[in-house]
Structure 1
Amino acid sequence: MPGQFEPMPGGGAAVALDEVEISIIRSLAVQLLELIGPGPGGEVSDDPLAELFAEGPSEPPADPVMKRLLPDAYGGPGGENGSAGDPDETRAYSAEFRRFTENDLRAKKRDDALVVIRCLDATTAAGDGGAVLKLSVEESRHWLGALNDLRLAIGTRLEVTDEEDADLLYRLPDTDPRKPMVMAYLWLGGLQETLVGTLLD
């Protein structure tokens, strides 16, 4: 079980993590929360109906990581990626779609990261040092979302755009300043892959 998720009887997943691994994942999840932000107005509204119809931004984020986490719905910059229509029209459709979906997408990503933090905190509170983290099926889905977001964020910072870029990361010398980020990227990928396997079993 060390370093990889395994299915638990009755559903869910378990993984053995040491103190350093718990600290790294928790720190990354906190940084992800800070990047995503607190949400519209920074606090929950007393009126759930107003929250339901709250409009989000229509422009894509300036930060490349957030742009990767919250991509345009139609085409890419300038209307590429298979969009044969007018680029201005494509941008208008993307802006309209973003206005009504970005807040919900951000909220989902916040929820995923919070579940990761709470699970890790509950695990460390129950024991000392390393521990076996046990997740329900629902928690596993949140973890999967958060692990995906963390890999996208790190991959964007490392300028990974395709498999060829990822292959180059394996060959970086230990003296390269990107090496710790690369190791985290690859490790999170292994966790993500084994977690997917538990949900498919």
Structure 2
Amino acid sequence: MAGLFESAGGGGAAIALEELEVSILRSLEVGILQLIGPGPGGDGGDPLAALFAEGPSETPANPVLARLFPDAYGDPAEPADEESRAAAGEFRRYTELDLRARKREDALHVVRTLDRLSGGGVLKLDPADCQRWLGALNDLRLTLGVQLEVGEDDDELYELPDEDDRKPLVMAYLWLGALQETLLEAIVD
């Protein structure tokens, strides 16, 4: 896999993706969509249900979802006190549904963009597309990072033997990091 982003000028970017790369990215994004789930009112997107819906007030039990939707108050490394927990719950109640919707829309946008590349090819993104792709790539990296339990001193993850079951996830994690980095570089050129 060699596809990395290059500047397309004007804040846009382009990338040549092979069929396998398209398939991997699409599969990962579909996984994010399944993890996040449908919005209020289900897949039909009942506008009345969405208008009156309030989000959850508790941190998600799933560690990946907790990383994608972290508490807004308190130190993540410390146990939360009652005041921080209450403030985080109140903030979450009014913001998480919008954040979930944005993450869902970004992932769906990437899937639809990739669907235009049947069999691989050159993908050109305008500045708005680039922003959505950056968000979606970040969510993928956070997800894989939690699954791999990536920490600050995890050099051993980068030297795994081929037989290790985590090796494909580490390779995807590193590739997504390169995509994210080159996309950022492309849009600032």
After TM superposition, the score normalised by the length of structure 2 is 0.93
Residues of 1 paired with 2:10 and 2:84: CA distance?
Answer: 46
Match of 2:135 in 1: 145
Measured against aligned partners, the alpha-carbon deviations of 1:6-28 in whole angstroms (never above 9, x if no partner) come to 01033310011100000000000
Deviation at 1:44, TM superposition (A): 1.9
Is it true that 1:186 corresponds to 2:185 in the alignment? no
Deviation at 1:169, TM superposition (A): 1.5
Residues of 1 paired with 2:151 and 2:39: CA distance?
Answer: 28
Measured against aligned partners, the alpha-carbon deviations of 1:19-41 in whole angstroms (never above 9, x if no partner) come to 00000000000010000000123
Is it true that 1:33 corresponds to 2:33 in the alignment? yes
Residues of 1 paired with 2:21 and 2:183: CA distance?
Answer: 16
Residues of 2 paired with 1:59 and 1:35: CA distance?
Answer: 17
Letter of the structure 1 residue corresponding to residue 79 of structure 2: G
Match of 1:84 in 2: none
Deviation at 1:68, TM superposition (A): 0.4
Using the aligned pairs only, state the percent identity. 62
Residues of 2 paired with 1:10 and 1:61: CA distance?
Answer: 39
Of the three residues 159, 162, 166, the one matched with 1:174 is: 162
Higher relative contact order (CA 8 A, sep 6+): 2
Is it true that 1:109 corresponds to 2:99 in the alignment? no
After TM superposition, the score normalised by the length of structure 1 is 0.88
Measured against aligned partners, the alpha-carbon deviations of 1:59-88 in whole angstroms (never above 9, x if no partner) come to 111111000000000113622xxxxxxx00
Is it true that 1:120 corresponds to 2:120 in the alignment? no
Match of 2:56 in 1: 57
Residues of 1 paired with 2:51 and 2:8: CA distance?
Answer: 36
Match of 1:195 in 2: 183
Deviation at 1:51, TM superposition (A): 3.0
Deviation at 1:170, TM superposition (A): 1.2
C-alpha RMSD of matched pairs (Å) = 1.4
Kept after mapping to 1: 8 A contact 2:41/2:47:
no
Residues of 1 paired with 2:135 and 2:14: CA distance?
Answer: 16
Residues of 2 paired with 1:70 and 1:46: CA distance?
Answer: 23
Residues of 2 paired with 1:22 and 1:59: CA distance?
Answer: 35
Instruction: Return 5+ residue gaps in structure 2 as ranges.
Output: none
Corresponding residue pairs, total? 185
Match of 2:46 in 1: 45
Residues of 2 paired with 1:112 and 1:157: CA distance?
Answer: 21
